[in-house]
Amino acid sequence: MQGLIIQMLEGTVTSLKIFFLTLLFSLPLGFVVAKGRMTRIAPVRWIVDLYIQIMRGTPLILQLIFVYFAPFYIFGASYDRFTACIVAFVINYSAYFSEIYRSGLQSIDKGQYEASKVLGFSKAYTFFHIILPQVIKRILPALGNEVITLVKDTALAQTIGVAELFRVAQTASSREFSTVPIFIAGIFYFVMNYIVSRLFVIGERKLDYYR
Amino acid sequence: MIKLTGLRKSFGGTEILKDISFTLDRGNVLSIIGPSGSGKSTTLRIITQLERADDGTLEIAGSTLFSSVDGKAVYAKPDEERKIGLKTGLVFQSFNLFPHFSVLRNITEAQRAVLHRTKEEAEEKAISLLRKMGIEDKAKQYPYQLSGGQQQRVSIARALALDPEVLFFDEPTSALDPELTREILKVIRELAEEKMTMAVVTHEMHFARAISDWAIFMDKGVIVEEGAPDELFGNPKEERTRKFIASFED
């Protein structure tokens, strides 16, 4: 039993790596995508829109397989599964985050930009000090949903052979002819998401000082 | 202080400002009246650089923001534009306060970020302006906690904090009920008594007549009539002006 728990904790570390690396890259990248989606340059907008449609319109599990195996079939070269897994998660989640950012950015009254301009703030100052704080407050609930989904989605990494928590649990389960490891994995995911959702509640409360 | 000549502006092929010219001298108050869609607000928005002129010449306190060259408005360099922008302030109809900043920070933010004043200087200035506006006790509150009239006073303080040479008001009371409107008009009147240079777009006819040194009536993108307020409001020469002003009686 102790051995099982240790194996599962190791799997959890892999799951957490996927989780944090995905957030690290896709949270900022989502902004770039959102900007591309809102640009006045039509061809850029179309391409970005198509990308978002594909990411949202096809299963993540399929995207994982594609990202891992496509280079092999096209170039005859294969690469690290973990890297492939991070790439697939990042391009998928950037698309989802970008749509959340876009809704947040578009909900800000244009008067905020005009007041900033008249007061002499630069474009960058306006974005980081006036617009972004208000966007974050508005999108936090939607972002929380997405981040919780990400915790659970990390289980899909096993499709391309990454030994994350769920993979470890399944392997142990078939080895021991028991569903207990799967059940324990469920508790692990639940605890992780409990922490994530508490953090978001704290964040929302912190930003509750204004309307 | 302000010398505007031959201003033209079109939006999507429709010309909404056709040859607008006026001057505003230092220490004077100009009121601009006219029906919705007459181009009053757009004129203010061009002077405060929220919109770009198509043609015309504009001098603000000795600097040229744009000048007419071959029927096109040619703007000053971006650096110069920014400098000229600091000479003008604008108060919006919808206040546009920053909701995530306290009242105090709404007034200090630009002083610190744009004029590089110290925190102490900026706060001192903010407090003295709030005192002048009669809302010193609101410094620590957030915009949503204030009435519309109080919010508009904060936004006037925010504009004044940068020591503009001329202050523009774009229908400053149109979002307010009559009681709150009076609060704001009182503040603007006090500024006029202090010889602040101002241009006010308003639908408050009695107020406009009382505080301004010069009045302009605009309709459909042209200045139909202008003159001393007692003349324009009391004895308008143009039929169109007369009709518009009469529509505010009773």
In chain A, residues 129-158 whose CB comes closer than 8 Å to chain B: 129-130, 133-134, 137
The average confidence (pLDDT) of chain B is 95
CA separation for the pair B196, B202 (Å, rounded): 17
Chain A residues closer than 8 Å to B113 by CB = 121, 125, 129
Chain B residues closer than 8 Å to A209 by CB = 142
Is residue B166 within 8 Å of B1, Cβ to Cβ?
A: yes
Tens of pLDDT, residue by residue over A15-41, are 999 999 999 999 999 999 999 999 999
Chain A residues closer than 8 Å to B89 by CB = 118
- Whether residue B198 is predicted with pLDDT greater than 90 in this model: the reply is yes
Chain B residues closer than 8 Å to A118 by CB = 48-50, 85, 88-90, 159
Hey, how many other C-beta atoms are within 10 angstroms of the C-beta on A165?
27
- Yes or no: domain B1-87+166-250 corresponds to CATH 3.40.50.300: yes
Tens of pLDDT, residue by residue over B45-63, are 999 999 999 999 999 999 9
Kindly state the DSSP code that residue A126 receives in the 8-state scheme: I
Q: How many contiguous H segments (helices) and E segments (strands) does chain B have?
A: 9, 11
CA separation for the pair A115, B158 (Å, rounded): 10
Is residue A165 within 8 Å of A12, Cβ to Cβ?
A: yes
Mean pLDDT over B56-77 rounds to: 95
Is A121's Cβ below 8 Å from some Cβ in B?
Answer: yes
pLDDT computed for residue A77 by the predictor: 79
Q: Give the closest of B100, B114, B142 to A119, CB-based.
A: B114
Is A70's Cβ below 8 Å from some Cβ in B?
Answer: no
Q: Give the closest of A118, A133, A134 to B48, CB-based.
A: A118
User: Over pLDDT 90: what percentage of chain B?
Assistant: 94
Is residue A139 within 8 Å of A200, Cβ to Cβ?
A: no
pLDDT computed for residue A2 by the predictor: 80
pLDDT tens, N- to C-terminus, chain A (211 residues)? 788 889 999 999 999 999 999 999 999 999 999 999 999 999 999 999 999 999 999 999 999 999 999 988 888 877 899 999 999 999 999 999 999 999 999 999 999 999 999 999 999 999 999 999 999 999 999 999 999 999 999 999 999 999 999 999 999 999 989 999 999 999 999 999 999 999 999 999 999 999 8
pLDDT computed for residue B148 by the predictor: 94
pLDDT computed for residue A140 by the predictor: 96
Is B100's Cβ below 8 Å from some Cβ in A?
Answer: yes
Min CA distance, B110 vs chain A (Å)? 6
Is A128's Cβ below 8 Å from some Cβ in B?
Answer: no
Tens of pLDDT, residue by residue over B122-164, are 999 999 999 999 999 999 999 999 999 999 999 999 999 999 9
Mean pLDDT over B154-176 rounds to: 96
Is residue A164 within 8 Å of A15, Cβ to Cβ?
A: yes
Mean pLDDT over B75-85 rounds to: 95
Best residue in A107, A114, A118 for a mutation probing chain B (most B CBs within 10 Å):
A118
Min CA distance, A34 vs chain B (Å)? 23
Q: Give the closest of A120, A125, A134 to B100, CB-based.
A: A134
Closest A-chain CA to B143: A210
pLDDT computed for residue B146 by the predictor: 96
| ipTM attached to this prediction | 0.94
Is residue B65 within 8 Å of B84, Cβ to Cβ?
A: yes
Instruction: State the amino acid at position A30 in one-letter form.
Output: G
pLDDT computed for residue A4 by the predictor: 87
CA separation for the pair A38, A30 (Å, rounded): 12
Q: Which residue matches tokens 């591309």?
A: A36
Domains of chain A, start order: 2-209 (1.10.3720.10)
Instruction: State the amino acid at position B206 in one-letter form.
Output: H
Identify the band that residue B250 occupies on the pLDDT scale cut at 50, 70 and 90.
low
- Among B91, B247, B233, B63, CA closest to B171: B91
Give domain limits for chain B: 1-87+166-250, 94-163
